[in-house]
Structure 1
Amino acid sequence: MDRNQRGALFERVLVDDVPLPNAPIARVIGQLRFGTLSVLASGDDAAQAFVKELSSSYPFIEQGHEQTFLFAPGQPAQQAEVGKVWRLRSADRQSVVALTNGALTLETATYQGRTAFCSELARLAGVLQDVTRVPAYNRVAVRYTNRLIGTETLGQLTKLVHPEFLGLVGAPLGSDTQLSYTLSQSLLSFPEGAKLLAQFGLLPLNGTFDPTLLPVAEPSWVLDLDSYVEFPDPRRALPGDAEGVSKAAVACAERAHTLFRWAVTREFLTHFGGQP
């Protein structure tokens, strides 16, 4: 999408993909949140049944505990909750499924497109419903983290990314001045409780904006898109069946894809092997 074809952001939702053989995706995360389930709180049987059903595609397991902390201005962090977490890894260890009593998460570093990713998230939801009878979800999210690295690529940022997402990148600087870091954050809201949190900017060597994202030993530019829908009213929560999850996840992914395509230029697509 070149500069004179962009139009208004979200004037329309882009569905068609341009495959990028060398896509700079660092990770993709899909998550379903639900209320605390008695079947998971009463013992490990349901979780073990979930693990067993997925053993052929996720043969490795790590079991541990996760801690939740509460932060308040001027006060030390307080531990709020400790719960079990089951992490299942694919044979190539590039995809991880995490289950807690409150969330089901799928993360992958080998993204094969939103159809395949959302289908897998829906499959996991179907397995979870079979073993726990989870009635509904109060939040569904799909998050993409794109990371550009390399001197040649970063040197072309002003050609690869539209100005709205560059901050001070490309701004004229004095001879003794160097831009080391710039990060912006924007939140877009849509009907029916949908939102899209966009974080983008230039990071220094070993820099990161999220403790769950491992840093790299060189400067990088990131475009992180967290697309989600929340259902605060239990009477209108997302049904726990796989079909409903699939539709909601695809809608989240399409909103993220639309912003991504609005942010990057045609040169970006060709730079990473696409044929727009």
Structure 2
Amino acid sequence: MVNFNPLTAPPPEEVPLEDAPLIRVIAQLRFPPILSIEKKDFVGSFQEAIRESYPILQPEQTQGFAFSPQGVVPIAPQVTWRFVDTLDNWNWRVSLASNFVALETTAYLSRRDFLKRLENILVALNESFKPASIERFGLRYIDRIVGQNFQDISSLVKPEIAGMVAVDFREHIRQTINESLFIIPDGGEQIVARWGAMPAGATFDPEAIEAVADPSWILDLDMSVSKNRDFHVDELMSEAQHFAERIYTFFRWAVEDDFLRRYGGKP
């Protein structure tokens, strides 16, 4: 158990979980628009650089909207190139649009594996489009607890995190979601932490957290920094390592040792 400040404490040694409840991990980099990314003739080199790991291309066109004095007005549709590892029920996906690139997985293996894949994506982006600067970089880990572990959640996480699900009348609670914003001392980064109980068939973020048939408890940790700066792969990878370690430190602070044991860990 981590009993000190999770925003400043050294990262604890990792405890591998054989049956980790991690349902999705996402890394996203936002940069000033590069319009050529929307044209298929310019995306070929990026596709070739990552095609061995993400061979299936599934382009999407999304319609955006903006607020103006005249009300809500449509803006030009945006093309997002989706590169996935399998045709159905993908485990890994790369998303590329004119102003962002993202890597996400529903089959997380290890920190080292994820960061290596992220580095390959950033190198491909640099070689294909050479973004001059970036605006935001973030990393997000989402855990979902279901079944008996959901029923026992008040004994698996710290009281500060259990909150309302620890009260005597918890069976009457249909939904309770908490959100806190933490600023990392002396770093400029922030962590948005969301946690709480969700009823069956519900979600507070359909893009990242699919609704499931059973009630569940979610722990969603999103660390990021929003700052205009030059694009450098090495610096971004150093940040990604730091983000992953800090998120893990927060996770270890939030859960009890019994949580780790339930999911196959040996604290």
CA distance in 2, matches of 1:71, 1:183: 28
2:151 corresponds to: 155
Aligned match of 1:48: 44
Deviation at 1:161, TM superposition (A): 0.6
Aligned 8 A contact 2:6 2:246 in 1 = no
Q: CA deviation at 1:170?
A: 1.7
Counterpart selection for 2:231 from 234, 237, 240:
240
1:264 corresponds to: 255
Shift of the alpha carbon at 1:248? 1.2
User: Number of aligned pairs?
Assistant: 262
Distance 2:94 2:138 in 1: 14
**Cα offset for 1:200?**
0.3
C-alpha root-mean-square deviation of aligned residues, in Å? 2.0
- 1:169 aligns to what SS in structure 2? helix
For residues 136-182 of structure 1, what are the alpha-carbon distances to aligned partners after superposition, in whole Å with 9 as ceiling and x for unaligned?
A: 222111101100011x11121111111111221121229xx611111
One-letter code aligned to 1:259: F
Percent identity of paired positions between Structure 1 and Structure 2: 31
1:105 corresponds to which residue? 102
Taking the aligned partners of 1:185 and 1:69, their CA distance within structure 2 comes to 26
Letter in 1 for 2:44: Q
Give the equivalent residue in structure 1 for 2:131: 134
Match of 1:194 in 2: 189
Residue 173 of structure 2 is aligned to residue 179 of structure 1: yes
Give the letter for the 2:181 counterpart. Answer: L
CA contact (8 A) 2:36 2:98 kept: no
1:120 corresponding residue in structure 2? 117
TM-score by length of 2: 0.91
1:192-235: CA deviation from partner (whole Å, max 9, x where unpaired): 4311000000001111111212100000000001111111xx4x
Aligned CA distance change for structure 1 residues 81 and 259 (closer, same or farther; 3 Å): farther
SS of the residue aligned with 1:193? Answer: coil
The one-letter code matched in structure 1 to 2:17 is: L
Question: Would you say 1:23 and 2:20 are equivalent positions?
Answer: yes
Q: Which runs of 5+ in 1 are unaligned?
A: none
Which residue identity lines up with residue 198 of structure 1 in the other structure? A
Whether the 8 Å CA contact 2:28–2:138 is kept in 1: the answer is yes
CA distance, structure 1, for counterparts of residue 196 and residue 19 of structure 2 = 20
Give the secondary-structure state (helix, strand or coil) at the position aligned to 2:201. coil
Where does residue 7 of structure 2 map in the other structure? 10
Contact 1:129 1:135 in 2 (8 A): no
Shift of 1:93: 2.0
User: 215, 218, 224: which one pairs with 1:219?
Assistant: 215
Assess if the C-alpha contact under 8 Å between 2:23 and 2:143 holds in 1. yes
- 1:6-34 Cα offsets, whole Å, 9 max, x none, are 02332413152110110001100011111
